[in-house]
Structure 1
Amino acid sequence: AGFVSLGALIPSISRQGRLLKKARPHMAITTGHGFTAVTIAQMVEDIEKEVGSEGVVAVMGAAGSTGRAALRCMFRRSPRRRVLAVDLPQQMSKIPEIPGWNPTVHRLTTVKEEIKEAAIVVCVTNAVGGILQADDFGENTVILDDAQPENVDISVLDTRPDLRIVKCLTRIPGLHCPFEMGLFAAEHLDPEVNFTCLAEIILSAAERHPESCVVGDPTDEQLEYLEHAAQRHGVRPAEFFSFPSLGAIDLGARRTTLQQTRV
């Protein structure tokens, strides 16, 4: 292969591609988490258009490479948005170093329970499996789960029908991917929708990028390059897709269901 794209937990275990680049210095590599960060920031705005922009946005895994890049994109696009950055105590010192961090509107915490105050929770951890349960969220929370494996299991919806869980996916015009990614049940299949990490390598190929795109933490220049490349090729955040068995969802539907059950 002349150009390799990483995904899922591979960027984490390869130090965001640094170890692979060291072992194969002549191979072009991109991690996939640069365009993921761009898409997260765009999807947070799309969600706010549906549920309002007055609430807090919590980011689980904020100190990780994807979390920091996503926050950087969010701060650039909406510097006054209230953000709660959540991570482990040993990771917290990295977060205030993110360009755009403003302690008057941005807050740090290591206490998972504090995400209950958030209207939107973004999951970008590298934890293996579900780490958030039904009781961890406030009422009517929208969860943007980018984690692979997922941080929130579908069983959470059994006891919390008010929650809405959205996957961070992208729409790539003309895409035909013969590999089954497990994103959709057969009745909800949409061949143009796929993971954001895949979109990054597709954009790099479409732009005929001559070398590695994102290795290590993405720079502002790389994030802007990917954002502009996506605009040129019509690549954009997908509609609000949830678990494979649910397909596309209406962000207002579950709120109504909860209210009806309380009548």
Structure 2
Amino acid sequence: MSRKIAFLASETEIASAALAELSTRYDNVAPEAADVIVALGGDGFMLHVLHTTQELPAPVYGMNCGTVGFLMNEYVADGLIERLIAAEEEVINPLAMRAECTDGSVFEALAINEVSLLRAGPQAAKLQISVDGRVRLDELVCDGALVATPAGSTAYNYSAHGPILPIGSDVLALTAMSAFRPRRWRGALLPKAAVVRFDVLQADKRPVMADADSRSVRDVVAVEIRSNDAIQHRILFDPGHGLEERLIREQFV
């Protein structure tokens, strides 16, 4: 690996200071000219960088200047070139969301972690769930539901009591938030190739919004979700600290 590095930082004070330090110690090139992109921030910024650089060939190495930092490596300014050379690569695919709205418009977005549907009013949402064109649940009454990738299974999905999925398992998690009917529905594990469709019942009375990695759209009537294998996000981790290890470790905390 050559030493052409592009440093990108969030707007926090810590990340800005890290950017100044690293830019002084190492050459900083444009992302288009880089062999590797170093993202300085938290998990939210890492997702932002992955989305905005997905057309570039360079992998992304995150250094934690935020809070949780599940997708990040420890921030250490010394020995960065050596760490990048030794880093292990994980490849993940995003979810593609296609949301139809009450006004007839269509909103499309990609999600590395999850696509979620959330009630947007005081009443619970009513959702019909289909998998590969077959209705699997006639009516789910809930605060919301989501489809998560293995990489995103420890985020919102885990908070909603969904399962942690090993990287490379070719499985998606379908998880409900505060399911009322069916009572305490536990969700489902689906093949990665599955196409999941949510149809919003009584959309005028029970409005629902959809969100793909913090890109949101309101007043949806139907949302279709599928894995997009044509897009590959390459993420670098220090040896022994890759996503596989982190996902296993998280289950024994």
Higher percent of residues as helix: 1
Instruction: Give TM-score, length-normalised by structure 2.
Output: 0.24
Say which structure, 1 or 2, has more relative contact order (CA 8 Å, 6+ apart). 1
TM-score with structure 1 length normalisation? 0.23
Specify the structure having the higher radius of gyration (Cα). 2
Q: Which one has the bigger strand percentage? A: 2
